[in-house]
Amino acid sequence: MKILEGSFQCEANTFCGQRAGIEDFERYEGEELLNKMAATPIFREAGAKVVPLLYVSALPSGMVTLEAFEYYKNLFVDLIKQEKDMDGIYLYLHGSMYVEGLGSGEEWLLKAIRQVVGERIPIAVALDYHANLSDGFLKQVNAVQGFRTAPHIDQDDTERRAAKSLLACIRSHVCPKPAVFRVPFLGGDASTTDKEPFVSITKRLEELDGEEGVVSCAFFNGQPWYDSPYTGNCAVVSCTDAVRGRREALELAKMFWAARDNLTLEHAMPVDEAVAASLEPRDGIVFVTDSGDNTTAGADGEGTLLLREYLKRNVKGVLVCGILAKDIVNELLKEELGVQKEICLSKGYQEKQRIETVCRVTLKKKGTVYGWAGDEVGEGVLVSCGNTDIVLTNARAAFTTPEHFSRMGVCPEDYQVIAIKMGYLFPKLKTITENFIFALTPGVSSNDFGQLGYRNLKKQMYPINKSITWEDVMTQMELESVFA
Ligand SMILES: [Zn+2]
């Protein structure tokens, strides 16, 4: 048995002006790729020969450029062409990679692969919980697994499930078509899986995992900062009996719809209130998340709104962490510690989030910006302006773990308030403190979806349109070809 495996990932925020190009992807090949993918041991234990294709991954950002997509897609296709007698293909994708001028990158990657291998080779995919899945994509794949946790902690489990799904297809000589049921719901940072309806949905998915005839089952939240007709939640079930797949997908969608109103943001406040609340006396640190400029949701992280609010108040013990300011950082890196400089952040912008901000800073430390995979992606500086400390970086950054702070030379315990470019608090930060305030800042990752200016979204989407009924949802599904 011979299985090809690879990964191509970049979560796109289509409202973000910046683009992900060829250089923005980290690249792994050969043995390094095999060691990186949690599916590899599952295939090997089954006696399969695993052939590494390519593993390329970029930080969430704006759309992927057509050039970058074509470049990597062609590498995949060329590598697959060299393998004549494979039994299956396994891919770990994000599911919300939007390519400039094309749309779903996953769809076009899979279409290109199918042109080489035809319809009779099973393809299984592991996807992020925030995947937006086009019909064109779903028609190319046979088994679809997705993360069941948000914040995500089950990436490896998802890969292992997808690997088992592929093995099931190969052993039974089947290439089932997954059934999809779309739920017209935009779920942002409120859609965490520690609450209903996700607790019940996960339980149901776990039951289905063990049932005869179920090849794969998943429920996706979608990614709301992605403007397309297929943006939104969906249940995807692949069964050897297609009718059953449709029935199970419908039941999962129903479960979600019944409890959707339970998905509300916790600790969320308008900016003024959030800043005031963060400065109230308390034991320990509080994180304030700049949700509208959330780099983990593709925003660029140049926003200065929260910084300005803290500079105005000039209270001791505040750190504003991770503002992207490439040129300023590169200049400051050449200076000695202790130097004072006037800097201008968000120069030339006067948006609600990126407001031109001039401040006189003292250089306190120089450090390293860590990427998502724990690798070095750039450099940063810690500066102070009055009583406020600021981390500036020359690469887009997401301070998602304590290590991200330590590599920057910052000790979180030195502060009472830390503002970060995030929505919900990432799990590893909870080892620092569980206190957090969700600041409802404006920007390309805002949770106020009505403000984003969608042009391609389905007309009826909850909660922008709160009058949608379950009957409307059913009618819409009957009109959509994949389900019919
Ligand atoms: Zn995600």
Which tens digits make up the pLDDT trace of 267-291? 999 999 999 999 999 989 999 999 9
Distance 219 CA to ligand 1 centre (A): 13
> Using 50, 70 and 90 to split pLDDT, how confident is the model at 196?
very high
Distance 127 CA to ligand 1 centre (A): 9
Sequential DSSP letters for 273-318: HHHHHHTS--SS-EEEEEGGG-GGGT--S---HHHHHHHHHT-TTE
Q: Does residue 375 carry a pLDDT above 90?
A: no
Distance 126 CA to ligand 1 centre (A): 12
pTM for this model (two decimals): 0.92
Tens of pLDDT, residues 295-318: 999 999 999 999 999 999 999 999
Distance 364 CA to ligand 1 centre (A): 34
Give pLDDT, residue 483: 45
Residue 421 neighbours by CB under 8 Å, 6+ apart: 289, 290, 293, 294, 295, 296, 299, 301, 303, 321, 322, 323, 397, 398, 399
Q: Which of 48, 41, 37 is nearest to 5 (CA)?
A: 37
Tens of pLDDT, residues 80-100: 999 989 999 999 999 999 999
- Averaged pLDDT for residues 232-259: 96
Q: Does residue 451 carry a pLDDT above 90?
A: no
Give pLDDT, residue 230: 97
Average pLDDT score, the chain: 95
- Averaged pLDDT for residues 398-422: 96
Given a contact cutoff of 8 angstroms between Cβ atoms, the answer to whether 220 and 245 are in contact is no
Distance 2 CA to ligand 1 centre (A): 30
The mean-pLDDT minimum among 162-166, 233-237, 477-481 falls in 477-481
Q: Which of 271, 436, 438 is nearest to 353 (CA)?
A: 271
Distance 282 CA to ligand 1 centre (A): 32
Q: Does residue 482 carry a pLDDT above 70?
A: no
Distance 131 CA to ligand 1 centre (A): 7
Q: Does residue 484 carry a pLDDT above 90?
A: no
Q: Does residue 387 carry a pLDDT above 80?
A: yes
Distance 146 CA to ligand 1 centre (A): 10
In the chain, what are the domain boundaries? 2-263, 268-446
Would you tell me how many other CB atoms lie within 10 Å of the CB of residue 482?
21
Distance 211 CA to ligand 1 centre (A): 27
Distance 129 CA to ligand 1 centre (A): 5
Distance 152 CA to ligand 1 centre (A): 7
Distance 51 CA to ligand 1 centre (A): 27
Give pLDDT, residue 481: 54
Distance 147 CA to ligand 1 centre (A): 8
Which residues are near ligand 1, the ion (C-beta closer than 5 Å)? 128, 130
Say what percent of the chain tops pLDDT 70: 99
- Averaged pLDDT for residues 129-158: 97
Distance 130 CA to ligand 1 centre (A): 4
- Averaged pLDDT for residues 104-114: 98
Tens of pLDDT, residues 20-67: 999 999 999 999 999 999 999 999 999 999 999 999 999 899 999 999
